[in-house]
Amino acid sequence: MGKHAYLIIANRNPNQLNLLLKTIDDSRNDIYLLIDKKSINNFNRIFKPRYSILTMVDPLNIFWGDYSLISAELRLFSVAKSGNYDYYHLLSGLDLPLVNQDIIHSFFDKYPNKEFITYSAALSSKQLSTRLHKYHFTNSFRTQNKLLKCYHKIEFKLYSKLPEKNIDLDKLSFGSNWVSLDDELVSDLVKHKDLIYDLYHRGFLVDEVFIPTFINMYPKYKKKIFYSKSVTDKPNEFQGNLRYINWWDGTPYIL
């Protein structure tokens, strides 16, 4: 029976985060929590697990659409890596498990050394390549500043005519950044963090690109994907990362 690491990025709703921590508090799990630095004062009371070891990872300023989310994910992977877990589950602080820990562990024991990730068919490789360009003012994608909004529209339109050439288009893919990965892949992501930085650090919405594309770059991981069929965000599709994310009723829909 293997040990799992739950890696959580939180930025709001402290009560929901505490409920999440309670539901994954289990001797078979360790928990790693990174809180958005801008929201740290909202998390004064954090549930103290009785059975899991909770590690607070250094906070980081995280901005929508910006490379900072990849930085947060890699920071969690790097800190947790020393535990050599069977699986690393990357979660938002707004997530909740739909089944208990016995069912979760039984499932992953049945499917060892697999990668659970959702690929999306919504965008072409050429469209994805526009995300890899060197955008300016990258932490301001979600802004009320009209001048910056206008600037980003012009920038994006220009880049759509000039595909990024730092990576082969046939390697580009994207999907949900919330994944469950085995120790081998997590170790390789940490090992290649400089390459990941070089490819994505000035990009737009690159958190949805870097893990699917990394897997495409290293075919041995492609063979380990549990379910590789791309989704189109429609009801009843199987989501390979084992998350139920409803995009067809919202952006995404809050259950």
Cβ-based neighbour number of residue 75 at 10 Å: 20
Reply yes or no: is the peptide bond before residue 163 cis, omega within 30 of 0.
Answer: no
**pLDDT at res. 144:** 86
Does residue 150 contact residue 136 with C-beta atoms inside 8 Å?
no
For every one of its 255 residues, what pLDDT tens digit does the chain have, with 9 covering 90 and above? Answer: 689 999 999 999 999 999 999 999 999 999 999 999 999 999 999 999 999 999 999 999 999 999 999 999 999 999 999 999 999 999 999 999 999 999 999 999 999 999 999 999 988 888 888 898 888 888 888 888 889 889 888 888 888 877 666 788 889 999 999 999 999 999 999 999 999 999 999 999 999 999 999 999 998 999 999 999 999 989 999 999 999 999 899 888 888
| pLDDT on residue 148 | 87
CA torsion sign for 43, 74, 101, 93 is positive
Q: Residue 163: what pLDDT?
A: 65
**What is the secondary structure of 18-61 as a DSSP string?**
HHHHHHT--TTEEEEEEEEGGGGGG-SS----SSSEEEEEEEE-
Query: What is the pLDDT, as a whole number, of residue 1?
Result: 67
Max intra-chain CA distance, the chain: 55
Q: Determine the pLDDT at residue 141.
A: 87
Task: Output 103-108 pairs: Cβ under 8 A, ≥24 positions apart.
Answer: 104/4, 105/1, 105/2, 105/4, 105/28, 108/2, 108/4, 108/180
* pTM for the structure as a whole: 0.94
Q: In sequence order, which ranges of 119-223 are alpha helices (DSSP H)?
A: 125-129, 146-159, 183-191, 193-200, 210-217, 219-222
Instruction: Domains for the chain: give ranges and CATH numbers.
Output: 4-122+168-222 (3.90.550)
Contact indicator for 96, 16 with CB cutoff of 8 Å: yes
Task: Return d(Cα 11, Cα 245) in angstroms, integer.
Answer: 18
pLDDT for residue 143? 86
H or E element at residue 106: helix 101-110
**Residues 104/3, Cβ–Cβ less than 8 Å:** no
Task: Indicate the SS3 state at residue 195.
Answer: helix
Sheet with strand 29-36: strands edge to edge: 53-60, 29-36, 4-10, 87-92, 180-182
Instruction: Return the CA Rg of the chain.
Output: 18
